[in-house]
Structure 1
């Protein structure tokens, strides 16, 4: 059974403002596709596209890009975001894609497939992919790290405190590790041409407030916020203060490097 989250307007807006886009992984996906098909490519479909930050990165490589999400609020944010002329959006569940059979060159999901009905989604992916078309599923672990000069170790001790406080609010659908969800899906995919990558470290310069905002978009923080708004806000402020102290700065706009640990798998439908 699929899980519906990230549907409120405030959450969708935060998602657009704070989530990190996997730009470097897009070139990895395209390189994988070009090993067997030099292109040009026709249709890419991004499932669970959210506010479209990853969807628009596909635009230079495909004639048409379709972003799909169950949340009207997320799709509204996607239209507010940069929208190239060859990108369109529709409301749709992952398990019933509004695409004809055998039409898709690339079907991807960026940090969303763990919410899908996995077996139904894989069957639907097989239906819409053309022979030789590719499936690319990527996500990242919550244990993001911060880097900043000689304060890196101290900062990451604070980050671990943040993640530990949020652990009791983790959605039981995810189990103990979202990585296992993706490895199970990888094992279930019948395509012989497939590859798994356990950890791709993506670095971005953000403000301390940007880091806090990113963690606040996560589902477990959102659950905490709903159950106990005062405690959720207290936790965010406590972590912000601890990070400022560790860096010996006063402004939450001070910059740090956030390290996001992506994992992904790629598969090609047989000809």
Structure 2
């Protein structure tokens, strides 16, 4: 079954404000793979589990039309408000039942969402909607992000970050078992497509206020699970981590900028011209 964890309006709003999106360089890797298989121009892309649409907008720069889908009405509302473009449409839809004709899609992507789907059903649906030589792109990043600041040693900062992640680990969804990367690796190995690519570590660095880093971690499913179980404990954990990071940085404002290093991994695959 698919897991539905990000549907509330408040959680959708936190996605708009805090969730990171792939870098232009990383998106270009997807585009290069698709163009290698199909050539130009690129027609139709579908971004599944699009959330508030950050990744959908990145695809819109390269395709004639892009459809963003998500099972959450609140996420779709946020996407339509905050991540619109003339060639983008959004539809509420489960990942396993896409509103697409057979063999109609040039790129089917899922950015930080595939691990929540009914993965076998989704992969069958992907095969149905992809054109011959159409491409599948599944991206995600590991939770263990690292912080960098020129005048501050990274070890001290990231020790605090590690304690943040460890405190949230007991609240991680059992659906994800050990690490989500294992689910993507298994999908890569199981896909019968001969043209496919796997990359376990693409490092993306993004400057942002310290408060935005904390807000991003707060948007994760594990923190949200703690928040539902014990709001006071969740608030105290977040506040304590923020104060400790500020102490290490020797600053007094959570708006102080840090560089957040996010480690992405991805699966790219091309549907054969003939089944």
Same fold by TM (over 0.5)?
yes
Give matches, 1:168-187, under 5 Å: 168-187=170-189
Which residue number corresponds to residue 5 of structure 2?
5
Q: Deviations over 1:137-174 (max 9, x none)?
A: 00001000000123311110000000000000000000
Structure 1 unmatched runs, 5+: none
1:82 Cα deviation (Å)?
3.2
Which residue number corresponds to residue 40 of structure 1?
41
Q: Deviations over 1:75-121 (max 9, x none)?
A: 11101113111100000001111100000000000000000001000
In the superposition, the TM-score normalised over structure 2's length comes to 0.97
- The match for 2:219 among 217, 238, 241 is 217
Which residue number corresponds to residue 188 of structure 1?
190
In the superposition, the TM-score normalised over structure 1's length comes to 0.99
Segments of 4+ moved more than 2 angstroms: none
Which residue number corresponds to residue 86 of structure 1?
87
Give matches, 1:247-262, under 5 Å: 247-262=249-264
Local SS of the residue matching 2:50: coil
Local SS of the residue matching 1:146: strand
Give matches, 1:19-168, under 5 Å: 19-23=19-23, 24-149=25-150, 150-168=152-170
Counterpart-to-counterpart distance in 2, 1:215 and 1:201 = 18
1:37 Cα deviation (Å)?
2.2
Q: Deviations over 1:197-216 (max 9, x none)?
A: 00000110011100000000
Counterpart-to-counterpart distance in 1, 2:263 and 2:8 = 26
Counterpart-to-counterpart distance in 2, 1:169 and 1:265 = 27
Local SS of the residue matching 1:135: strand
1:36 Cα deviation (Å)?
2.7
Q: Deviations over 1:193-245 (max 9, x none)?
A: 00100000011001110000000000000000000000000000000000000
Aligned residues: 271
Structure 2 unmatched runs, 5+: none
Counterpart-to-counterpart distance in 2, 1:186 and 1:66 = 24
